[in-house]
Each structure stands twice: as structure tokens, then as C-alpha cells.
Amino acid sequence: RPRVLSGIQPTADSFHLGNYLGAIRNWVTMQDTHDAFYCVVDLHAITAGHDPAVLRQRTRLAAAQLLAAGLDPERCTLFVQSQVPEHSQLAWVLSCITGFGEASRMTQFKDKSSRQGAERASVGLFTYPILQAADILLYQADAVPVGEDQRQHLELTRDLAQRFNGLFGTTFTVPEPYIIRDTAKITDLQDPTAKMSKSASSPAGIIDLLDDPARSAKKIRSAVTDTGREIIFDPETKPGIANLLTIYSALAGRSIDDLVGAYAGKGYGDLKKDLSAVVADAVRPIQERTRAYLEDPAQLDKLLALGAEKARAVAAATLRTTYERVGFLGPA
Ligand code: TYM
């Protein structure tokens, strides 16, 4: 079976529909076709300032939501990044073959650091993509299921894998991005040309998986739509309606064409009302199961500890080879 690895940051209480449709839902499917490793990337979550108690809670919330969305510890390896120390260890080695200019060109760093003020941005935010490369390369992943916003980080990961292999001998699998076009960029309800984003969107622009369905309905009702009245799928001229149709199609399992046919002659209000019901049906079971997992944090921690143990067996083997190739003495 080909191997996949992907990760998600515990930087909010809830994941949003962009995370779910762009990534998590595909992770669930890939459990059955791939040898799958998924991690809650808490090391990545401390690059822009955080509260320790909140981080700990969000890490458990993140794991609970992933399990609730359908990750099954019997069919995949789910773990927390900081519980596998090899991630930080490999990141150091990779940082020594990454060019300063190369890292400076990462658009996500440029966006986030300019939002914080370039002088105040942490060095961790700068080296963030190198840690992400380590996450992926440690597991010799063949594919990495992510949304469109991660494409550049995956390019860097591929470059680093190839560079290391060239310098020190073949060590890493060069991974392919796995990006499903239709749902690769779910957009902000208030600004339908920008991606729905934990860090950049306003609350009204995001539908959270853990939002009360009445609240989601309200956000959908006030979603920015486009001039005109016709419900057609045209991301160029009608990005707002296109986004609503994309979400609807993905959650209801109906094709865009089918939806456009069904809403011919109807208004935006009808579409929004029905979409609210579709969202409510999709999130309700996830919310119930999330609550159930959180009721027993000790059990949750035990699941994660088992995941970390399985992950570590793979990660440690790769790190050992890497250290040898680089010329370190090896275990003392
Ligand atoms: P993060 O935590 O921002 O997002 C998690 C996943 O959700 C996808 N995503 C979206 N997809 C479609 N539309 C959107 N609006 C949207 N917003 C987010 C992201 O593309 C991602 O797949 N750097 C990563 C975390 C990471 C990682 C890794 C990913 C760390 N190590 C190793 C893959 C492999 C990030 O910040 O994702």
C-alpha cells in the first residue's frame, strides 16, 4: 500500500469546512487505500504566540474532531507531533540544506509575517515549512493530501528530499501532493475570493464544524453573494454562489450540474436555506461524537499514545538512516 501523511494545526477550537472538505474528508477515505499517518501538528501551533492551557485543550479537541470525522485508529495512525521527537530532530538537519532565500520565498510566511509585522514574526514561523517537510519525509510518504494553500510547502518538501538524496545518497521518498481540485480551496463566506482561513477570516466568513447549526445557518444567510439572480456555477464572475454550490455538492454528494439543474428558476435564498440544512446534517454527528471523545480525555490520551508509538517506530528508523548518511557517530 502506498503511504500517506498529512497534518493539521490545533490553532482554533474547531476545524472549519475548508479543513474538512479540503483535507480531513480525504484523509478518512484514504485510510482504506493507503498506509495512513495523520498528525495534529502542535509544534507548528506555537509559531505565532499561544496560551499553554488553550493549546493543550485544542490539541485534544483536534484529535477528538478527527476521530469524530471518521479517522479510525485501527485503520490509520493518528498522533500528536510533539510526542514524536524525531520531527524536531529531522527538521534541524533539513534546515541546514535549506537556502535562506528559498525559505524567504514561502508565500504563507510572507503573508503571516506581514500580518504580524515582519520584525515581530518568530524564527519558528520562518522555519515552519522545514518542519513540515520533516513531518512528511520521516514517514517516506508517497502522497500528501492537502488543500491548495499547501502546494508551495510541498514543492519545498520535494526539493529538500531530492537535494538530500543527491548530497548524501537516496534516503527519502519524494512525495506527491494529493489535492482534489473541486474542494481544494473553500472560500470565505464574506470574501469569496479569499480562502476560508482560521487565521485570516472573520468569524462570519467561516463555518466551523463545531458551530451550532443555527449559527451556521445565519452565516450562510448573510454570505456575500453576487449580483444577478441566477444560480449558475461560475467561480470567475459568481465566486460567492460557486463557493456555496461547491460546499453543497461536496456535503450532499450531488454533482454541481445536478444542483444547478435543481435550482433553475429558484433564488439565492432557497439555495442558502437548503444548504443550511445540508450543513446541519453533516456536522451534527461529528459534533455528537466529538463531545463523546472529550468526555473521556484519559482514553483519548491513551489512543494518542498508541498512535505516537506506532509513528515513532517509522520515524526513528528514518532518522537513524539520516543521521548515518549525514556523518553523525550514531547512538552512543
Ligand atoms: P492547516 O492546519 O492550516 O490546515 C489543515 C488542512 O486544511 C486545508 N485547508 C483548506 N482546504 C480547502 N479550503 C480551505 N479554505 C482550507 N483551509 C485549510 C489545508 O490545506 C490543510 O491540508 N502547514 C499545514 C499543516 C501541516 C502539514 C504537515 C500538512 C504541518 N505538517 C505535513 C501536510 C503534511 C497547515 O497549516 O494546515
> pLDDT tier at 332 (50, 70, 90 boundaries)?
confident
Average pLDDT, rounded, for the chain: 96
Mean pLDDT of 132-137: 98
**What's the CA gap between 230 and 213, in Å, rounded?**
26
CB-count burial class (<10 Å; 0-12, 13-18, 19+) for 167: exposed
Pocket test for ligand 1, best of 94, 150, 154 (most atoms within 8 A of CB): 150
> pLDDT tier at 118 (50, 70, 90 boundaries)?
confident
Q: Ligand 1: distance of its center to the CA of 151 in Å?
A: 10
Mean pLDDT of 138-145: 98
C-alpha cell at 273: 436555506
Q: In what side-by-side order are the strands of the sheet with 35-40?
A: 77-80, 35-40, 3-8, 143-145, 176-178
196 is annotated as contributing to ligand binding: yes
| Ligand 1, atom 35: closest residue by C-alpha | 8
Q: Ligand 1: distance of its center to the CA of 261 in Å?
A: 33
| pLDDT of residue 115 exceeding 90 | no
Catalytic center residues = 112, 195, 198
| pLDDT of residue 135 exceeding 80 | yes
The answer, yes or no, to whether ipTM is higher than 0.90 is: yes
- Which atom in ligand 1 lies closest to the alpha carbon of residue 19? 7
> pLDDT tier at 160 (50, 70, 90 boundaries)?
very high
pTM: 0.96
**What's the CA gap between 62 and 39, in Å, rounded?**
10
243 is annotated as contributing to ligand binding: no
C-alpha cell at 127: 522555519
Ligand 1-lining residues (CB < 6 angstroms)? 5-9, 18-19, 22-23, 41, 44, 132, 135-136, 144, 146-147, 149-150, 153, 184-186, 195-196
